[in-house]
Structure 1
């Protein structure tokens, strides 16, 4: 019989609610505690989703000896402080992406995890998706030839409000850290770390970037063209262009992968997961803890660090600055 783990949610916003709904699908995951800076919000969240306890402070929650794993769903700018708080209290941590604000903060999180011998992983559900892993498998088909281009977008229209998370520079605002990380992750997994980076960004008077296009170059001649934006909508498609064909896909599991190889097209469909896919990362965290691991072999901390290094380089080229973190 699988061990049951008591989960706590730190930060009771929209993404936390989606994660908790998926977490509730797992037999060995107990919805134990919800923590917010507001006890009212924590109680409302806990009551809506079926958590056993509600805490009006994060400090109080981490002192609960029954908490096994904490899912951190606060804004990027708070990830270092909140991960550190949990790790120092020996609570396993699954921290939302972007993992932190920069590589220096990621290094501090990794150091704390090792010093306290406590599990730490970035919440990047894509790497556990059967659809994305099928794309990685298909991309290695020798009949397709060499991968020459990766084109990937993630956009949605958001109202400008400098006080809200997406546009508040003190919270790590901007499309790059929020959704641009997805196209960058795909290019990293498919082409590796780029050798050169060129960017074009739209930066508001408040210093927040709301749209950015990135061109990654590689020594073998391959390129990645990546875009994220809060200013427009599109079908958020990723296309891999090979010497002898292409692969197209969108992140939603209900849509097929389209592959063309030597003029022949095929659509590959997938059985939809029980939830939105967030349950897959939760399952993996518990499997790692069953084995006594403090780091995931699928999403190692070195990969999260490499991803952040790329985003640091993108920000440097684009002139994106977070005054309280840079």
Structure 2
């Protein structure tokens, strides 16, 4: 008989709602509890989606002995704090991306998971999408020859509201950690860690980074051109340019997107069949967490600690080149005051 796991949601925002709706598609997932710092909000969330219990504090949630797995859906500025809370209470933890603000925080979270012998994984849903897995399979087969360039974008024209997370520097605001992380992930999974990073950055009205262009170079002479922005809309596609052709993950490539391929000698692109999915696609990462727990693991093979650390280390290098500082999280650098003053001009 398949083991049932009681899930809890920590943070009752938009992403939590999407994730929780897809949890309903998994027969071994029990919608058990939801928590917010506002009890009324937690109760409303629980009632609307179908959770059994609601808590008005995160500590109450993790102290409930019936909770098996916690999905952390708070702003990434709070992931470090909330993951440590869950792990020290020995709750299996799925933490929404960006996993942390910087690699230092990520290392502390991973160390805590190991110390408590408790499962931890970054909720990077793209890693588990059928289309992304198919694209990775094709690229690794070298059917199109060796990969030479990754070009990926993610942009939308966000509401200019200083009170909201996207433009709030104290909450890790800016396009980079919110959506720029997707193009970086595409390049990391295809080409590994870059040897060189160059950026061009535009800062917004709250001194948050609003748009960033990233150029990566690799030891094998491959390259990546990556873009994220809150200032305009983009096609939201990822292209892999190879010696004998190219592969493209089409619009909304981070989800279960259509795949197009062109090989040398072909007149037209070919569409690669990808299995249709139910829901939005968040159920795949949740199902994987439960598979890992069934196997007694504290770390995923598909979304390992090393992948998460590699990504945060790249993000730290991008921020260093771009001058992106989160004062409440980063150790003070010699030029931090100069950078902040320059943005305020």
Q: TM-score, normalised by structure 2?
A: 0.92
| Structure-2 separation of matches of 1:254 and 1:220 | 29
Match for residue 257 of structure 1?
Answer: 259
In the TM superposition, residue 253 of structure 1 has moved relative to its aligned partner by 5.7
Render the CA deviation track for 1:288-324: whole Å, top value 9, x for unaligned.
Answer: 1111111101111111000000000000000000010
User: Is 1:324 equivalent to 2:323 in the alignment?
Assistant: no
Change (3 A) 1:62 1:209: same
User: Is 1:66 equivalent to 2:70 in the alignment?
Assistant: no
| Structure-2 separation of matches of 1:99 and 1:255 | 24
Match for residue 170 of structure 1?
Answer: 170
| Structure-2 separation of matches of 1:92 and 1:240 | 35
Match for residue 121 of structure 1?
Answer: 121
Match for residue 285 of structure 1?
Answer: 289
In the TM superposition, residue 256 of structure 1 has moved relative to its aligned partner by 2.4
Change (3 A) 1:293 1:55: same
Q: Secondary structure at the match of 2:114?
A: helix
Q: Secondary structure at the match of 2:105?
A: helix
| Structure-1 separation of matches of 2:254 and 2:63 | 38
Render the CA deviation track for 1:222-276: whole Å, top value 9, x for unaligned.
Answer: 1100000111112201111111111111226665211111222321122221121
The answer on whether the counterparts of 2:35 and 2:57 sit within 8 Å (CA) in structure 1 is yes
| Count of paired positions | 326
The answer on whether the counterparts of 1:295 and 1:301 sit within 8 Å (CA) in structure 2 is yes
Match for residue 229 of structure 2?
Answer: 229
| Structure-2 separation of matches of 1:59 and 1:254 | 35
Change (3 A) 1:230 1:253: closer
User: Is 1:32 equivalent to 2:32 in the alignment?
Assistant: yes
The answer on whether the counterparts of 2:238 and 2:248 sit within 8 Å (CA) in structure 1 is yes
Mapping of residues 137-216 of structure 1, within 5 Å:
137-216=137-216
| Structure-2 separation of matches of 1:74 and 1:115 | 24
- Runs of 4 or more above 3 Å deviation: 252-255
Change (3 A) 1:318 1:14: same
Mapping of residues 52-91 of structure 1, within 5 Å:
52-91=52-91
The answer on whether the counterparts of 2:132 and 2:256 sit within 8 Å (CA) in structure 1 is no
Match for residue 248 of structure 1?
Answer: 248
Please point out which of 287, 307, 311 is paired with 2:315: 311
In the TM superposition, residue 46 of structure 1 has moved relative to its aligned partner by 0.1
The answer on whether the counterparts of 2:130 and 2:275 sit within 8 Å (CA) in structure 1 is no
Q: Secondary structure at the match of 2:288?
A: helix
Match for residue 335 of structure 2?
Answer: none
Greater shift after overlay, 39-48 or 251-260? 251-260
The answer on whether the counterparts of 1:253 and 1:270 sit within 8 Å (CA) in structure 2 is no
